[in-house]
A and B are shown apart, each in its own frame.
Chain A
Amino acid sequence: MWRYIGRKSVIYMLTFVIAVTINWMIPRFMPGDPVRSMLSRASVSDPAALERMNNYYNEIFGLDTPLYEQYLSFWAGLFRGDLGVSIMLYPKPVTDVIMGAIPYTLALLLPAILLSWIVGNRFGAFAARSKILDNSILPVGYILTATPYMWLALLLAWSVGIVAGLLPASGGYSFSLRPDFSWVFISDLILHWILPFLSMFLVALGGWAIGMRNMIIYELEADYSNYLQALGAPRRLIRRYAFRNAMLPQITGLAVQLGTIIAGSLLTEIVFNYPGLGSLILDSINNNDFFLLQGIFLFVVVGVLIANFIIDIVYVLIDPRTRVQMTGGAA
């Protein structure tokens, strides 16, 4: 078991290094000079002043050094938790900007991912082999899962938020409030959270329900189910086994889906103008703020890697077949 975790950790470390490197490369080789675009906003007409300002900023951001030095100092900064200074929100450090956005994204993503997975699996298992549910509610699941996140988000924002006016359709909290720990603020936060959460939850829910339903049917046709039925085992026992075994591919599916879900959250956050990482990504791209962009991607990469690592370990714990293969039968 520990050897397995050790081997996995090495693989994840390698992935991390490669991801960080690519992450560092992309913004730097993108067209456009961030310092120039920042200066052009300042409308400095004197070329000498412009030149000096240019040099000043290049020095601050470390853009005047050779590329390999930039790369090494990036790693050095990474270990100090220093991701540089944001250009867009100069002189705020990138880490602070990201830390301000992360609670919103996590509060949106974690419940949406986990609840949709749990509810979807339960529901799919329940619907499998029940003619009425199979024929009425699963088609709804197909429609939901085929719906793009942002389209459902737009639909919800328009219908519930604007036409019906039931819930706020924009922002993380009302502009009239300041973040604090009062009941008024927290309830306002929750009201703003509902629509973005729903749009992500519903789309993911349909996919999980359909996947689970198909898996359960497959498992109920499996040889071990037939054997138990021939020996007169009650439906409840057979279903319990089928559910557990059908969960295994669903757990893998969750790991695979994580990346896509984060991309989905980006669009959802933009539609609802929600102050999470997604909106931040858009802003930093628009402003050529590649330190910030780099920092956000880093957080996303780390998040996906951690989630996958956890799922890898969970998988080993619940599937004896992986456990036997990975640990050489010492389970």
Chain B
Amino acid sequence: MTLRVKDLKVYYQTLRGDVHALDGVTFDLEDGEIMGLAGESGCGKSTLGKSLIRLDSRMRHVGGSIELDGKDVPIADDDAMVPLRYHEISLIPQYAMSALNPTRKIGRLVTELLRARGVRPGDIEDELKRRLELVGLSTDVLNRFPIELSGGMKQRVVMVISTLLNPSLLIADEVTSALDVSTQRSVAESLVEFRDREYVRSMVFVTHDISLVYQMADTIMVMYAGRIAEKAPVKTIIDAPRHPYTQMLISALPEVGSTSTEERLEGIPGKPPGLLNPPTGCRFKDRCPMAFDKCAEQPPLLEIEPGHWAACWKTGE
């Protein structure tokens, strides 16, 4: 067991009150597992990604715990998190294009970062060069400034830097969102390769692109309005989803090879609820075609078959 998150609650503090971005999230991540984390904008998937490594100044840890390799992750204590960061938990940020200091050559940036984290840069130099070549970059990029690289190259440089210390857990936050389709694929493939070569033990891949997750991930976790709707192996989520939200989400995707032009793809009518004052009970009930009386109570996240978790009263029957 690599990662165990229990009833995690993280709120954003705003002038109008707390935004319940994560409201009781529980899941496990196995060794070697790549978990796709999907959901609409504002469902809390990026917040969950951030909560695993660093809360920003507006985020507040309200409850719940995170355990990595049997050790507690003190997410609320910024200083106590420092030893874990980079060594145990690492991040490929959403903004990888601008994640590198523009006035430092990449090689020097890496050296300074490593030295600051107590690693002798010389010990790791060969590995760094090997990994750059693995993702298709020449080692010459170390002598360049970030502005001299293309977006895709910067993305790959950040990928290599982030995973250089072989972390247990890698959070990839919307890493493919800003890339074109062919680059998306090569980035996704590199990430899988990193896992296969055990550069990273397990990975949370935050995205809204379910078709990409389908190609690379082992499991998919679908979030809705700050809670988990369903978590299952990729095939199960795509072929036999049980939660009505997942079902509607999957049916809203175009099918490969489909030539039908008569059927328009159906979206999900309605909007997700605001998280400033979230509704009680099941948060999907207002948009759910199967909603009934019991949905006024919050459905628990239950394991309906091994490795398949869902939070819906209808699936629990």
B27 within 8 A of A: no
A179 within 8 A of B: no
CB–CB B113/A320 < 8 A: no
Query: DSSP majority for the A interface?
Result: helix
Query: DSSP majority for the B interface?
Result: loop
A-B contact pairs, 10 of them (CB 8 A): A223-B98, A224-B102, A227-B100, A231-B113, A232-B81, A232-B82, A233-B116, A233-B117, A234-B116, A320-B103
Residue ID in chain B nearest A325 by CB atoms: B147
Contact indicator per residue, chain B 77-107, by CB within 8 Å of chain A (1) or not (0): 0000111111100110101001111111100
CB–CB A231/B103 < 8 A: no
Give A255 Cβ to nearest chain B Cβ, in Å.
Answer: 19
CB–CB A223/B117 < 8 A: no
Of A31-39, A54-62, A140-148, A237-245, the one contacting chain B is: A237-245
| Total A-B pairs, Cβ < 8 A | 75
CB–CB B54/A224 < 8 A: no
Measured as residues with beta carbon below 8 angstroms from the partner, the interface class of chain A is 20 to 34
B72 within 8 A of A: no
Write out the residue numbers on chain B whose beta carbons fall within 8 Å of the beta carbon of A224.
98-102
A65 within 8 A of B: no
B117 contact from A227, A232, A241, A324, Cβ within 8 A: A232
Q: How far is the CA of A171 from the CA of B236 in the complex (A)?
A: 89
Measured as residues with beta carbon below 8 angstroms from the partner, the interface class of chain B is 20 to 34
- In this complex, the member of A227, A230, A245, A248 whose beta carbon has the largest number of chain B beta carbons within 10 angstroms is A230
Give A1 Cβ to nearest chain B Cβ, in Å.
Answer: 15
Seen from chain A, the residues whose Cβ lies within 8 Å of a Cβ on chain B are 222-224, 226-234, 236-237, 241, 244-245, 248, 318-321, 324, 329, 331
Give A217 Cβ to nearest chain B Cβ, in Å.
Answer: 12
CB–CB B117/A231 < 8 A: yes
CB–CB A231/B91 < 8 A: yes
Q: Which 3 pairs across A and B sit closest by C-beta, in order of nearness?
A: A232-B85, A227-B99, A223-B98
Write out the residue numbers on chain B whose beta carbons fall within 8 Å of the beta carbon of A226.
56, 93, 95, 99
A321 contact from B100, B102, B113, Cβ within 8 A: B102
Give B78 Cβ to nearest chain A Cβ, in Å.
Answer: 9
CB–CB B148/A237 < 8 A: no
CB–CB A245/B91 < 8 A: no
B54 contact from A230, A318, A321, Cβ within 8 A: A230
